[in-house]
Amino acid sequence: MVRQLGLVLVASCIWGSASAQTVERFSILANNEKVGFVVATSNGRAIDIDYAVDNNGRGPKHKEHLVLNEGGIPVEWTIDGTSLMGGGVHEKMRWENGKAEWDAQADKGSVDAPAAKLYVANDPSPYSSGLYAAALLKAPGNTLDVLPAGNLRLEKIREVKVGDGANTATVDAYMLAGIDMVPEFLLLDKQGKLFAKLGGSLAVREGFEDSFKSLRSLGEQLSLEKLQLVQQKIAHKYDAPIRIRNVKIFDPKTKKTADAMSVVVFRGRITTIEPDAKATNPSDEVIVDGQGGTLVAGLHDMHSHNSLWSGPFYLAAGVTSVRDMGNDNTVLLDLMKRLDAGELPGPSIIPSGFLEGRSPYSARNGFIPESIAEGLRNVDWYGDRGYIQIKIYNSMNPDWVAPFATEAKRIGMRTVGHVPAFDNPDRVLADGYNEISHINQLMLGWLLAPEEDTRTPLRLTGMARAATLDLNSAKVRKTVDLFKKKNAGLDTTTVILERLMLSRAGTVQAGDQAYLDHAPIGYQRYRKRTFVPLKDAAEDAQYFKAFDKILATMALLHKEGIKLWPGTDDMTGFTLHRELELYVKAGIPAGEVLRMASFDADQYMVRDQQYGSVERGKRADFFLTVGDPSKDISAVRQIRMVMKDGVIYFPQEIYEALNIKSFATPPSVTEPVKSAAASQRDAASSAFTGTRTGFGEDDEHDLGD
């Protein structure tokens, strides 16, 4: 699933003789380092699973018990333990006598089912993917309706080989769709058993641990092939001028909209803006009827962690630029190259160079220098590749911050990041931070004792103490004044704090209500959970009071003139819409919020001469939405069309390709009337180049070549 990207799962099978017992042992790795395990013990049709992950100071830990029927469908399934951030997990499902019942974090229910139906668990281990695949292999068309709702589909891609020399295996690659926002890619052996999982987790049987890099590359290649097909289907490119009529245009200078305008785009640039009453409909132009909607310069997510699959989600949400705040260096640079070439759908990426310290809690991204000298070389490496800033993370030695920030400044880069464990906001600002990442990283400096360790889930649970924080206190005032003195900013990611602090089992959180029922069933259920451990009703209420104080902190910082940058720490685009709503909820006017997320962000990243507003001569990065988000920020959720570098995308088509119900219909588009000779030339060119327009069977067989 999208919530745990970049993990590898390694398994071995030990077959007993008389008892027919099998034991499958899995090592879970991130960036080729072990961060957890799964042990699955099978006795006949019963399976017991022990599962634990500890990565970046967090991870699920639970035990599962399953009983399968003769067809391999679970008829009993219990899961007990904790989820990602320590919230309790107590899930159970049972099918008996023609009735299926389940009780999980997300929901509880029962249905009449004469035959057992496949149940998609709320909190399973990665082992579940093999169970789903095994059931789908036996199903007509490799498709099954599932409980509590929706359906799963398994699609064979091609045969692949894993390993080297004598230690090789020939397996089949499959795509499993319908669980989460993005599909999972699996490798199954010739008996149909799980050999490797390349989707949200990478998995391989014991003895193939050294295949980590090749398996990760294979997963990326399979995703790449699928997304290249998506891009061919959803990217609408025209060499003729594109005239968008009858639209309002958001002006970030006035923070208001101008009515009834006409905008012309040609080869990626805005060439004409005029009152719609004066515009004509030339026969050689593409005409888009905006029907009174609003054009807004493309939004920014100022805190992203990009993947191949994040791109189409961002575009559908009107996000045309993102600031990546930490990634695998090789993967990110390759992704940026492909996006810039138009090979894949997605926003422009402004990269940040990730620097982490070595500890049992280390995040596995970027570089983990073992010395100041090595870290300085890492800073230079990022600078030589055009990174705009370095980002320092939780386990960094506080004494190393100043030299790294000094070197970054010397070569023209900013320094941003978390407040390292046992450090504090005042010191990192004094040491050279231009920006703190996450509002909780700022506020924890006012809430925790110096010896408390923020590399653990305390960086979330400690926020409950904000309920009684006095924003007029001397310690708050000192930090605010230091922000102003250093002209520093804050990358808020308030939406993630809302999600982690206020999500409760069985309920749809306010920030998810606008879109969640459009998503696949597994993602819907994942969002309806309690992330934080709760002792009682009083502690529950304390988190809600604490979140109100977070919004009050945003209001204080904004009033003091401190730059706030909307970011999500997520990849769906939906969360950026909620982040903007939270800015308005904190008391910032919608027009000002819209400017922050567009023009101000581009100005901060020295791109405003080309981006950030709908003006003649600028790059054509903008979106068309129903209503006026400068008056009602939630109008950003109803996007009808997005233009990225002059290429048109319709969110409806993007969501259909991603198995998500759309939110708004595209505007009407009238293409130029071609002469007979021109039509014949285009047809001949299309036939010669083999242009694809959809996802027919031939396209899918091409993936297996």
Mean pLDDT is lowest, of 194-208, 320-334, 341-355, 585-599, for 194-208
Residue 674: band (very low, low, confident or very high) from pLDDT cuts 50, 70, 90: low
pLDDT at residue 685 in the model: 44
pLDDT at residue 215 in the model: 87
Q: Hunting for tokens 């380092």 — which residue is that?
A: 33
The Cα–Cα gap between 455 and 56 comes to 7
The Cα–Cα gap between 95 and 75 comes to 5
Residue 704: band (very low, low, confident or very high) from pLDDT cuts 50, 70, 90: very low
Q: Kindly tell me the burial class for residue 271, based on how many C-beta atoms sit within 10 Å of its own C-beta (0-12, 13-18, 19 or more).
A: middle
**pLDDT over 90, % of the chain:** 75
Contact indicator for 345, 351 with CB cutoff of 8 Å: no
Q: Where are the alpha helices (DSSP H) in 175-263?
A: 212-234
- Nearest Cα to 324, choosing from 298, 354, 297? 354
pLDDT tens for each residue of 64-87: 999 999 989 999 999 999 988 788
Residue 1: band (very low, low, confident or very high) from pLDDT cuts 50, 70, 90: very low
Contacts of 606 (CB under 8 A, 6+ apart): none
pLDDT tens for each residue of 27-65: 777 767 777 788 999 999 999 999 998 887 788 999 999
Contacts of 392 (CB under 8 A, 6+ apart): 355, 356, 401, 404, 415, 416, 417, 418, 420, 428, 433
pLDDT at residue 634 in the model: 97
Backbone angles phi, psi at 76, to 5 degrees: -150, 135
pLDDT at residue 17 in the model: 42
| Side-chain half-sphere exposure of 680, counting CA atoms within 13 A | 3
Q: Which amino acid is at 693?
A: T
Residue 690: band (very low, low, confident or very high) from pLDDT cuts 50, 70, 90: very low
Q: Which amino acid is at 481?
A: D
Output the CA–CA distances (angstroms, integers) from residue 655 to 234, 288, 572, 664, in the order listed: 10, 21, 11, 10
Residue 377: band (very low, low, confident or very high) from pLDDT cuts 50, 70, 90: very high
The Cα–Cα gap between 37 and 54 comes to 9
Q: Measured in whole angstroms, how far is the alpha carbon of residue 194 from the centre of its chain?
A: 26
Three-state secondary-structure class, residue 584: helix
The mean per-residue pLDDT over the stretch 381-390 comes to 97
Residue 593 has pLDDT above 80, yes or no: yes
Residue 433 has pLDDT above 50, yes or no: yes
The mean per-residue pLDDT over the stretch 503-523 comes to 91
Between 392 and 6, the higher pLDDT residue: 392
The Cα–Cα gap between 641 and 41 comes to 51
Residue 534 has pLDDT above 60, yes or no: yes
The mean per-residue pLDDT over the stretch 537-563 comes to 97
pLDDT at residue 8 in the model: 56
The Cα–Cα gap between 345 and 229 comes to 10
The mean per-residue pLDDT over the stretch 237-255 comes to 97
Q: Hunting for tokens 């360790």 — which residue is that?
A: 453
Residue 698 has pLDDT above 50, yes or no: no
Query: Left, alpha or beta for 646 (phi > 0: left; psi -120 to 50: alpha)?
Result: left
Residue 12: band (very low, low, confident or very high) from pLDDT cuts 50, 70, 90: low
DSSP strand pairing (435-437 vs 489-491): parallel
Output the CA–CA distances (angstroms, integers) from residue 257 to 3, 265, 297, 596, 646, in the order listed: 37, 19, 12, 16, 22
pLDDT tens for each residue of 443-502: 999 999 999 999 998 999 999 999 999 999 999 999 999 999 999 999 999 999 999 999
Contact indicator for 583, 567 with CB cutoff of 8 Å: no
Instruction: State the CB neighbour count (10 A cutoff) for residue 310.
Output: 27
Query: Left, alpha or beta for 386 (phi > 0: left; psi -120 to 50: alpha)?
Result: left
- Nearest Cα to 203, choosing from 221, 185, 191? 185
- Nearest Cα to 586, choosing from 519, 490, 671, 658? 490
Q: Kindly tell me the burial class for residue 535, based on how many C-beta atoms sit within 10 Å of its own C-beta (0-12, 13-18, 19 or more).
A: exposed
Ranked by mean pLDDT, the top range of 85-99, 101-115, 334-348 is 334-348
To 5 degrees, how large is the angle CA 581–CA 585–CA 590? Answer: 60
Question: What is the chain's mean pLDDT, rounded?
Answer: 90
* Helix H or strand E encompassing 324: strand 319-324
pLDDT at residue 13 in the model: 55
Longest dimension (CA), the chain: 87
Residue 654 has pLDDT above 50, yes or no: yes
Residue 4: band (very low, low, confident or very high) from pLDDT cuts 50, 70, 90: very low
Between 17 and 171, the higher pLDDT residue: 171
Residue 702 has pLDDT above 50, yes or no: no
574-585 vs 494-502: helix crossing angle, rounded to 10? 90
DSSP strand pairing (33-43 vs 46-53): antiparallel
Mean pLDDT is lowest, of 16-25, 199-208, 486-495, 647-656, for 16-25
Mean pLDDT is lowest, of 73-82, 127-136, 527-536, for 527-536
Contact indicator for 151, 136 with CB cutoff of 8 Å: no
The Cα–Cα gap between 531 and 212 comes to 30
pLDDT at residue 208 in the model: 85
pLDDT tens for each residue of 213-224: 888 899 999 999
Backbone angles phi, psi at 83, to 5 degrees: -95, -165
- Nearest Cα to 615, choosing from 321, 348, 252, 322? 252
Can you list the pairs that 69-78 forms with residues at least 24 positions away whose Cβ atoms lie under 8 Å?
69/45, 69/116, 70/45, 71/116, 71/135, 71/138, 72/131, 72/134, 72/135, 72/138, 73/116, 73/117, 73/118, 73/135, 74/116, 74/118, 74/119, 74/131, 75/116, 77/119, 77/121
| Side-chain half-sphere exposure of 232, counting CA atoms within 13 A | 16
Contact indicator for 479, 79 with CB cutoff of 8 Å: no
Instruction: State the CB neighbour count (10 A cutoff) for residue 496.
Output: 22
Residue 581 has pLDDT above 70, yes or no: yes
* Domain ranges within the chain, ordered by starting residue: 7-234, 425-565
pLDDT at residue 98 in the model: 92
Q: Where are the alpha helices (DSSP H) in 72-127?
A: none
Contact indicator for 13, 23 with CB cutoff of 8 Å: yes
Residue 194 has pLDDT above 50, yes or no: yes
pLDDT at residue 184 in the model: 92
Measured on CA atoms in the order 272, 276, 280, 281, is the torsion positive or negative?
positive
Between 85 and 704, the higher pLDDT residue: 85
Residue 435 has pLDDT above 70, yes or no: yes
- With b for 16 or more beta-carbon neighbours within 10 A and e for fewer, the 548-564 pattern comes to ebbbebbbbbbeeebbb
